[in-house]
Amino acid sequence: MEIRVSEVTQSFGKTDLFIKEQSNPQETIQFLKDAYEFFGNYAVKESYKIFAMKVIAKYITKAGFPRDQKTLNAAALYIVNRLPASYPNHSSKKEFADRLEISESSLDWYVNSIIEQLDFFTLRDRKNFPYYIEKDGITFAVISSVVKVFVEESIVQGLAEIKPFDIKNIVDQILDMLITTLRIVPPVFRRDLAIKIEADLQEEFANALL
């Protein structure tokens, strides 16, 4: 009897940081070393340095080398400083730019470019300050997993006529799990996250019922 081993289609730790495949990997390595030194000049925490350098490396892989490395460094650090766990963080972009001795307009351009290139997920607090979640990071992965579980259970219960589809109730259950049970995001983001999740659920349920 022949035993066949199925091919593994998923892998753990898959990354999109392909520095060796770039035309000049040594330039990238030096770029990251310079970024690390830059962060050191402003007494940035080690964990923030590494996170910001990861953002920079991913950005370079997708968008190439920037004209202004200092501002790209600052923009990556700005995003890293505005994770949901940093709430409340009501420092303005101008204050951040002044502290790192760059122009606010340049900082704004590079922040927007990073968000667009790396597809960061944005949440806002009640004062409309932005907070960022990387789409391939732990926080977003947990949010996606929780939403998927509730969506799939609701779809099969609805199709089997066990429970009717009630998107508002499902969203509330998801948010309770994320905010109260898992504490993956602070309660202040409940309203903004609810709007985003509900929009996605409307589409998922519409497709499931086709």
Whole-number Å distance between alpha carbons of 178 and 168:
15
159-165 average pLDDT score: 83
The values of phi and psi at residue 133, to 5°, are -130, 125
pLDDT digits (tens, 9 = 90+) for 75-129: 999 999 999 999 999 999 999 999 999 999 999 999 999 999 999 999 999 999 9
Which residue is it, tokens 């996250």?
Answer: 193
pLDDT at residue 13 in the model: 60
CATH 1.20.120.450 for the 19-129 domain, yes or no: no
The confidence band for 6, taking pLDDT boundaries of 50, 70 and 90, is very low
Q: How confident is the model at residue 16 (pLDDT cuts 50, 70, 90)?
A: low
Residues 6+ apart with CB under 8 A from 199: none
Q: So what's the pLDDT on residue 21? A: 56
* Residues found in the chain: 210
Query: Is-contact 76 59, C-beta < 8 A?
Result: yes
Whether 59 has a pLDDT exceeding 90, the answer reads yes
Q: What is the pLDDT of residue 7?
A: 46
Cα separations in angstroms, 170 against 107, 119, 143, 202, 207: 39, 26, 14, 11, 17
Domain ranges of the chain: 19-129, 138-208
Q: What is the structure's pLDDT at 208?
A: 65
Q: What is the pTM of this model?
A: 0.85
Token pair listed for 146:
């929780």
Helix or strand run (H / E) with residue 132: strand 130-133
Checking if the pLDDT of 197 tops 50, the result is yes
